[in-house]
Structure 1
């Protein structure tokens, strides 16, 4: 264990209830070891995304295999520490603000993948926070489990309908196939542009393969007391945020 890892966990030594891994991909095994040494009872690996055990998705999503490796490592240490892995799907509000669902709010342009009809799972940041707390409140049930949650099961077309209704304006709509988007992502990665990974993820999750749908894995929403959210209200919150920040930057 490195001195840095030891220092990181000193805050948990007195009340070692749980620790959340915040690294996006690898690098968590050393934190698992340090958590065990500090007596942490529950480790929350940095899943916080789509189903990492989906092999088809993992083949296109470079962040997923390291996440799987972390949970496999935790499984090998279950006699010393428990774990819970939260799978909320896409971060809805965050992704909308930066255009990861194909929606450019500034130009009011939507790029639909394979027609925009594939359903995917998404959760808002407040819902993810509530779910994390609920997992601690349901510690026995969530022990050594993947926990799948959702605010919505939606398509790009659902979002388009919502932004046009809430904003009161029609958007420009463009189209791309998932094959084109994935090829574009691979090209960007080959050229050293790591953001090409977002194209791979978009093609896999939002395209006709619908690999971003968590429902086949079984949802915990009801068990954790999580309520479905209102898509139009969430879209309204995003549009207000963007408008306020645009005004502040001018």
Structure 2
């Protein structure tokens, strides 16, 4: 039986907005959005309850969460992810919430390689905390791993493409395969999990729209724009990841180091965003997407 009452933590940002829209569009849920006191968030739907509070105020959190079935995290801010997630998880347990979907989206942190990637430390600590609470029978969980956000990655140069200037940064020759998922498909997966919670109880799910390389994307971009992309630079993703992680270990969590470690998790050898074509996508009701069509959508946006 589908859950009915859902709390979304963080309904702004790259993933928060499409997830919020998908929850609304499904018509299945009573939605409460949990936001910081400083948030300017408002929902497009007047039926959505918005609770703005200090995440460290446990009693306020418990009062908001009580009576809800599940909490969906769509938080960014890696610096505060562990602390804020633990605050909310503890309150959810006290409030009797059944299920947690944490902010674990991205590379697969459940691999030996990911365990050594410092940039995943906040997610790993949250996962360890949830697993302990789940093992004690206090709460259930479902995690969703999806590789890089495909559409966001193209528009924000995370996948190496500077589309307006027709330039590309090639990582490891551009042939390294990786799994990637559109924001829309991640949101669809979340709705599916909440609609069939028993099927996905205490499971780590992997989803993807594409199992591709940079060269696959490049060939379509050049064809659709009728332009030759200039190779701005060629980068060894393994060395980039190694250098970035070394700096992160020293406490330098500046953007270049976080970016380098995350890019490495996509393109380096044994990358956390590469698991092949077989995963949990088919069973989650995610429509099959065409790579060319999705790239055309990005170009038209």
Q: Deviations over 1:103-158 (max 9, x none)?
A: 11121111111111111111101101100001112211210110111111111111
**Runs of 5+ unmatched residues, structure 2:** 1-53
Query: Given that residues 138 and 224 in structure 1 are in contact (C-alpha distance below 8 angstroms), is that contact kept between their aligned partners in structure 2?
Result: no
Map of 2:105 onto structure 1: 48
- Could you say if the C-alpha distance between residues 12 and 239 of structure 1 is closer, same or farther in structure 2, counting changes exceeding 3 Å? same
Query: Given that residues 117 and 245 in structure 2 are in contact (C-alpha distance below 8 angstroms), is that contact kept between their aligned partners in structure 1?
Result: no
| TM-score where L is the length of structure 2 | 0.72
Query: Given that residues 89 and 214 in structure 1 are in contact (C-alpha distance below 8 angstroms), is that contact kept between their aligned partners in structure 2?
Result: no
* Of 62, 65, 70, the match for 1:18: 70
Report SS of the residue matched to 1:223. helix
- Note the C-alpha offset of 1:11: 3.5
- Note the C-alpha offset of 1:56: 1.4
Map of 1:122 onto structure 2: 180
Q: Does 1:73 align with 2:134?
A: no
Query: Given that residues 168 and 229 in structure 2 are in contact (C-alpha distance below 8 angstroms), is that contact kept between their aligned partners in structure 1?
Result: yes
Structural mapping, 1:157-196, within 5 Å: 157-173=215-231, 174-182=233-241, 185=244, 193-196=254-257
Q: Does 1:140 align with 2:181?
A: no
**Runs of 5+ unmatched residues, structure 1:** 242-250
Query: Given that residues 43 and 84 in structure 1 are in contact (C-alpha distance below 8 angstroms), is that contact kept between their aligned partners in structure 2?
Result: yes
Q: Does 1:4 align with 2:57?
A: yes
Report SS of the residue matched to 1:226. coil
Q: Runs ≥4 in structure 1, deviation > 6 angstroms? A: none
